[in-house]
Amino acid sequence: LTFPLLSVTILVSFGSSMLYGYNLAVVNSPAEHIKTFYNATWFQRYGHGLAPAPLTLLYSLTVSIFALGGLVGSLLVGVLVKHYGRNGTLSRSALLVLLAGGFMGLSRELESPEMVIIGRSITGLHSGRCICLSVVPLYLGEIAPKNLRGFLGLMPSIFICLGVFSAQVLGLPELLGKDRFWPLFLSLVVIPASLQLLLLHCFPESPRYLLIERNDVSGATKALRRFLGTLDVQDVIEEMKEEQRSLSSVEMASVWQLLWDRSVRWQTLSVVVVNAGMQLSGIDAIWFYTNTIFENAGIPVSQIPYTTVGTGVIEVVAGLIGCFTIEKLGRRPLIITGFCAMGICSAGITASLLLQAALPWMSYISVTCVVGIIAGFCMGPAGVPFLMTAELFTQSHRPAAYIVGGSLNWLCNFAVGFIFPFLQMSAGAFCYLLFCGVCLLVALYVYLIIPETKNKTFMEISHIFA
């Protein structure tokens, strides 16, 4: 593992993936302050406040608009990486975060709830374009040697967990959890984006992109030597040329061509299942509405912020365990174990909420199950689906596969974020059984269909499916 390879992995993970995690959790602790701001602004404009249902709807839109922005961004990935490359797309996308931070930071001064919603949608657009759902795993998967592809591929998931943890810590009442600080709290995203914008140009483009798509053998060789720290890169160049020759008569596939290509139908279906299942597992409901879930579980309001921070520590530890064991255990064990743990814990939340009236100590079981869902997710399902998307396809189909996987990811993210408060009101404790069923079905699919891809080249993986 060379210094340039590790440095660029940390930089793109910090400047993109960490922002994704931060934006998932940042709306959790200031929820009541933002609702109060919406209500006060509505009263100033129209002479009356918002009823509970419209206020819940407006706040749900604020939470879930992040996913709609991400959906739009994921649809642009194919065009952007083709014209600007992986590194270039990441650099340009950082500018969006600076714009979004300005909108959210000035929203209260200008008495505009619309600016909060617009800022959230722009951060989603950035996340859809470049975080772990698309360009980051694409870039890291292409620059990493095959024996480190799993380790580097899961690094973004650790930074997602760190982003969530950062939002939980900064949201404590002693820090930025006060009413007057929430605009600053939302706009802190500009710091990691600025660092990425300043430093990313110091690193080369993906060698695989340069050789296979740009036919720049000299540039690819130079980039490989920089990333691998050795002058002898001829074997890797020959492997890329072999893939280039096999794709010489094949154009870059569009999304429509990918969906109708029978030669990759099982790979495509696998990407659909793991990406949709990742969001429908209920993890976004846990991250977006942690405080509400803990309140329903009977945790005293004064203790909820600190309980939430405790779950953040577990996230980071679980992410590190997944990252440092993936090259030893493989992809399949991590993702199957993660989804099974999430399914069992979702059923546990339902049971604990139903029994807590008779057995008050059940509230602690509920918290334990929430921690179990987060730990199970961070250990495997948080990062392995994006790594699999890179590994299951050759260069010609990979951008289209990321568009399909990313679009489904964001659609399901939006659906869960927007519907969960209403689902919780109508179904109560039983709403978690839906997530339980999804997790167990995805685990079963991975067990039956998806092969292990550890230490295999992209061409070898393609031949396994064929």
Comparing C-alpha atoms, which of 224, 229, 198, 235 is closest to residue 98? 198
Tokens linked to 141: 């998967």
**Residues 50 and 160 occupy one common structural domain:** yes
**Residues 166 and 99 occupy one common structural domain:** yes
- Indicate if the pLDDT at residue 178 is higher than 90: no
Residue 440: per-residue pLDDT: 94
Residue 287: per-residue pLDDT: 66
Residue 164: per-residue pLDDT: 84
**Residues 300 and 377 occupy one common structural domain:** yes
Give a yes or no: residue 156 inside a domain.
Answer: yes
**Residues 198 and 263 occupy one common structural domain:** no
Dist. CA 122–CA 153, nearest whole Å = 25
Comparing C-alpha atoms, which of 157, 93, 84 is closest to residue 128? 93
Residues 20-29, buried b or exposed e (16+ Cβ, 10 A)? bbbbbbbbbb
**Residues 287 and 400 occupy one common structural domain:** yes
Residue 250: per-residue pLDDT: 65
Residue 443: per-residue pLDDT: 93
Residue 130: per-residue pLDDT: 54
Mean pLDDT of 393-397: 76
Mean pLDDT of 89-96: 85
pTM score: 0.78
**Residues 274 and 356 occupy one common structural domain:** yes
- Of the candidate ranges 129-133, 307-311, 361-365, 377-381, the one whose mean pLDDT is the lowest: 129-133
pLDDT digits (tens, 9 = 90+) for 311-357: 778 878 888 888 788 878 888 888 999 999 999 998 988 888 888 77
Label residue 173 by pLDDT band (50, 70, 90): confident
Tokens linked to 434: 């839906």
- Indicate if the pLDDT at residue 154 is higher than 60: yes
- Of the candidate ranges 218-227, 243-252, 276-285, 417-426, the one whose mean pLDDT is the lowest: 243-252
**Residues 169 and 38 occupy one common structural domain:** yes
Contacts of 149 (CB under 8 A, 6+ apart): 141, 387, 390, 391
Query: Structurally, how many domains does the chain consist of?
Result: 2
pLDDT digits (tens, 9 = 90+) for 270-294: 989 988 888 888 787 776 667 776 7
- Indicate if the pLDDT at residue 442 is higher than 90: yes
Number of residues in the chain: 466
- Indicate if the pLDDT at residue 102 is higher than 90: yes
Q: Given 185, 203, 221, which residue is the final one in a domain?
A: 203
Give a yes or no: residue 242 inside a domain.
Answer: no
Q: Given 183, 203, 223, which residue is the final one in a domain?
A: 203
Domain that holds residue 378: 255-465
**Residues 199 and 267 occupy one common structural domain:** no
**Residues 186 and 290 occupy one common structural domain:** no
User: Is-contact 347 430, C-beta < 8 A?
Assistant: no
CATH number at residue 165: 1.20.1250.20
* Burial of residue 119 (number of CB atoms within 10 Å: 0-12, 13-18, 19+): buried
User: Is-contact 59 376, C-beta < 8 A?
Assistant: no
**Residues 301 and 177 occupy one common structural domain:** no
Give a yes or no: residue 219 inside a domain.
Answer: no
- Indicate if the pLDDT at residue 128 is higher than 60: yes
Give a yes or no: residue 432 inside a domain.
Answer: yes
Give a yes or no: residue 184 inside a domain.
Answer: yes
**Which regions of 358-413 does DSSP assign to beta strands (E)?**
none
User: Is-contact 40 301, C-beta < 8 A?
Assistant: no
**Residues 370 and 291 occupy one common structural domain:** yes
For residue 283, CA distances in Å to 300, 301, 363, 413, 432 come to: 23, 22, 19, 9, 11
Mean pLDDT of 50-59: 86
Give a yes or no: residue 238 inside a domain.
Answer: no
